[in-house]
């Protein structure tokens, strides 16, 4: 599992480690790792033109020491000094190795150097940077982004908030980011992750001094270990019976897609409850489904026993839909609340007052209604608001978006690393609901079910262009691939 930390957590760990090692050890380790990755990006180091963008902080020192190593191998290295001060030891090392330094105020020289560079090293602002870049940093970031050469960021791209990935104004868009000691949460969350490019971690010895993580991201192995596997004693009931209350006369497709997501994810049995029109569509597409046709105003009391419910995709928001929602939420099993059911819950939050677990799966607009917060603010600060929703509502939250986040009070936010923009098409959320509900019914917690489902769903949506039905059909191959990879790895 990839664990991530805030800037304060990293600084505290660094301080604890520095108390045990000679002065300068951490910068030496960081600069060495940075230089190795720079050399890999350059290919042929000798004769390559490298520009260092150097700020006042320690990451400017990291860049200077790494530049000195490249210069000693024959690279032409120019440092553009942008800060009010400079790391004296790093600058002296660069000059001893044959590197040169220029003042950022020399506009013509700066533009010429950056434009001619094969590699630009962003050492302007480190993990302590917040808010918009000031001058001359903002101008240098813009020049680096427009330059023909590759850009590598030191620890975190300048202009990206290391704590949550926020970007206010101009920020470096790197081809690669070399981060030291531990992952920073902002490197895993959009828009920060988009600015980071390919992120690589350099171990500088922080491990023993790191606290519980701020956030985490699952890997293939983590998901494979959590996925339910049938054995010789399994039957359809032991594998998990999922109930799905979805669809309406106007939105029949949502029911078909949610049921499909559940079936293709390996549910032992799917019980579907809905009104006549979506019932006909589900019966025609998924004949293995056990179906109950609901009369207007009728609840799910006669559906039969299930291990978890999915409530809401295409359900509508009228009185009949409310009756279904009330009956599902009155049950004693975990309930996934999605789509139209979120609208119903936003009007009456007392529906969430239940002893059994609740997992909600909103996008930013739906969460804005639940929290009474503008959608734009949620999109800009997803981490903050997914945590708040989990705490205020007392539920597990899967917040859908360019980065899908899973939050539960008292636990690190899980950041899904497999998302794909191809999933931004109608119906894919219904598929995710069915997939997640199957994992809930199989016995996974809301936290694990949401995290694993988002991971699998993201992979299933990576080969576009696609429709929601394509995601349904891709799920079994994705699950098999993940499980087989774990077997191959021993």
Q: Confirm or deny that 128 is annotated as ligand binding.
A: yes
At residue 234, the pLDDT reads 76
Q: Confirm or deny that 129 is annotated as ligand binding.
A: yes
Domains and CATH numbers, the chain: 2-214 (3.40.50.10260), 220-488 (3.40.1190.20)
Q: Confirm or deny that 253 is annotated as ligand binding.
A: no
Q: Confirm or deny that 170 is annotated as ligand binding.
A: no
- 144/290 Cα distance (integer angstroms): 59
Q: Confirm or deny that 130 is annotated as ligand binding.
A: yes
Q: At 168, give phi and psi (nearest 5°).
A: -110, 100
Q: Confirm or deny that 158 is annotated as ligand binding.
A: yes
At residue 282, the pLDDT reads 98
295-307 pLDDT, tens digit per residue, is 999 999 999 999 9
Sheet holding 119-123: strands in order across? 100-103, 76-81, 49-54, 119-123, 150-154, 176-180, 198-202
Q: Confirm or deny that 126 is annotated as ligand binding.
A: yes
Sheet holding 183-184: strands in order across? 183-184, 2-5, 215-217, 413-415, 405-407, 396-399, 358-360, 335-337, 308-311, 241-245, 269-274, 290-293
- For residue 474, which of 414, 416, 428 has the smallest C-alpha distance? 428
Listed in order, strand segments (DSSP E) in 349-424 are 358-360, 396-399, 405-407, 413-415
SS3 192: helix
Give the contacts of 246 (CB within 8 A, at least 6 positions apart): 254, 255, 258, 259, 272, 274, 278, 310, 311, 312, 313, 314, 315, 430, 433
Q: What is the dihedral of CA 436, 438, 440, 443, to 10 degrees?
A: -140
Q: Confirm or deny that 61 is annotated as ligand binding.
A: yes
Q: Confirm or deny that 58 is annotated as ligand binding.
A: yes
Q: Confirm or deny that 401 is annotated as ligand binding.
A: yes
Q: Confirm or deny that 90 is annotated as ligand binding.
A: no
Q: Confirm or deny that 60 is annotated as ligand binding.
A: yes
Strand partners, 53: 80, 122
At residue 488, the pLDDT reads 61
At residue 239, the pLDDT reads 86
Query: CB–CB of 459/469 below 8 Å?
Result: no
Q: Confirm or deny that 87 is annotated as ligand binding.
A: no
Give the contacts of 4 (CB within 8 A, at least 6 positions apart): 182, 183, 184, 185, 187, 188, 213, 214, 215, 216, 217, 415
Q: Confirm or deny that 404 is annotated as ligand binding.
A: yes
At residue 50, the pLDDT reads 98
Q: Confirm or deny that 127 is annotated as ligand binding.
A: yes
Query: CB–CB of 342/282 below 8 Å?
Result: no
Q: Confirm or deny that 314 is annotated as ligand binding.
A: yes
Q: At 231, give phi and psi (nearest 5°).
A: -130, -170
Pairs from 92-95 (Cβ < 8 Å, separation ≥ 24): 93/64, 93/65, 93/68, 94/52, 94/64, 94/65, 94/67, 94/68
- 156/193 Cα distance (integer angstroms): 10
Q: Confirm or deny that 190 is annotated as ligand binding.
A: no
pLDDT in tens, the chain (490 residues): 999 999 999 999 999 999 999 999 999 999 999 999 999 999 999 999 999 999 999 999 999 999 999 999 999 999 999 999 999 999 999 999 999 999 988 889 999 999 999 999 999 999 988 889 999 999 999 999 999 999 999 999 999 999 999 999 999 999 999 999 999 999 999 999 999 999 999 999 999 999 999 999 999 999 999 999 887 777 787 889 999 999 999 999 999 999 999 999 999 999 999 999 999 999 999 999 999 999 999 999 999 999 999 999 999 999 999 999 999 999 999 999 999 999 999 999 999 999 999 999 999 999 999 999 999 999 989 999 999 999 999 999 999 999 999 999 999 999 999 989 999 999 999 999 999 999 999 999 999 999 999 999 999 999 889 999 999 999 999 999 998 876 666 5
Q: Confirm or deny that 195 is annotated as ligand binding.
A: no
Q: Confirm or deny that 385 is annotated as ligand binding.
A: no
Q: Confirm or deny that 254 is annotated as ligand binding.
A: yes
Q: What is the pTM of this model?
A: 0.93
Q: Confirm or deny that 331 is annotated as ligand binding.
A: no
């Amino acid at each position: 599992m990839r664990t991530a930390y805030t800037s304060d957590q990293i600084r505290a760990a660094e301080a604890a480690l520095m108390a045990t090692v000679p002065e300068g050890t951490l910068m030496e380790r960081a600069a060495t790792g940075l230089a190795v990755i720079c050399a890999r990006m350059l290919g042929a180091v000798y004769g390559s033109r490298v520009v260092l963008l150097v700020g006042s902080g320690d990451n400017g020192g990291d860049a200077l020491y790494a530049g000195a190593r490249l210069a000693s191998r024959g690279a032409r290295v120019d440092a553009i000094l942008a800060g009010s001060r400079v790391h004296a030891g790093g600058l002296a090392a660069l000059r001893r190795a044959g590197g040169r330094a220029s003042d950022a105020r020399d506009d013509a020289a700066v533009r010429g150097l950056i434009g001619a560079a094969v590699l630009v090293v962003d050492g302007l602002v480190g993990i302590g940077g917040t808010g918009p870049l000031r001058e001359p940093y903002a101008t240098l970031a813009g020049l680096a982004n427009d330059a023909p050469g590759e850009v590598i960021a030191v620890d975190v791209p300048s202009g990206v908030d290391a704590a949550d990935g926020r970007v206010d104004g101009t920020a470096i868009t790197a081809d690669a980011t070399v981060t030291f000691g531990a992952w920073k949460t902002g490197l895993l969350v959009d828009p920060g992750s988009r600015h980071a490019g390919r992120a690589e971690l350099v171990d500088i010895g922080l491990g023993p001094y790191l606290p519980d993580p701020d956030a985490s991201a699952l890997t293939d192995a983590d998901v494979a270990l959590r996925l339910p596997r049938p054995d010789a004693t399994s039957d359809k009931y032991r594998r998990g019976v999922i109930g799905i209350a979805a669809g309406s006369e106007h939105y029949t497709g949502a029911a078909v897609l949610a049921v499909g997501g559940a079936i293709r994810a390996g549910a032992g049995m799917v019980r579907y409850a809905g009104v006549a029109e979506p019932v006909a569509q589900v019966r025609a597409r998924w004949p293995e489904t056990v179906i109950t046709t609901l009369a207007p105003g009728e609840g799910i009391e006669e559906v039969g026993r299930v291990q978890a419910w999915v409530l809401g995709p295409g359900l509508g928001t009228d009185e009949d839909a409310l009756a279904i929602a009330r009956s599902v939420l009155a049950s004693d099993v975990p309930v996934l609340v999605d789509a139209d059911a979120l609208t119903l819950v936003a009007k009456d939050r007392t529906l969430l007052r239940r002893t059994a677990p609740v997992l909600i799966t909103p996008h930013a607009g739906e969460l804005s209604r639940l929290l009474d917060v503008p959608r734009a603010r949620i999109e800009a600060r997803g981490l903050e608001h997914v945590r708040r929703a989990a705490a205020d509502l007392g539920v597990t939250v899967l917040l859908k978006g360019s980065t899908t986040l899973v939050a539960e009070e008292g636990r690190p936010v899980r950041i899904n690393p497999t998302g794909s923009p191809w999933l931004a098409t109608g119906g894919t959320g219904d598929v995710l609901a069915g997939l997640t509900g199957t994992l809930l019914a199989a016995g996974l917690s809301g936290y694990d079910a949401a995290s694993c489902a988002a991971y699998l769903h993201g992979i299933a949506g990576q080969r576009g262009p696609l429709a929601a039905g394509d995601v349904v059909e891709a799920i079994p191959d994705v699950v098999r691939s993940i499980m087989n990879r774990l077997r191959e790895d021993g």
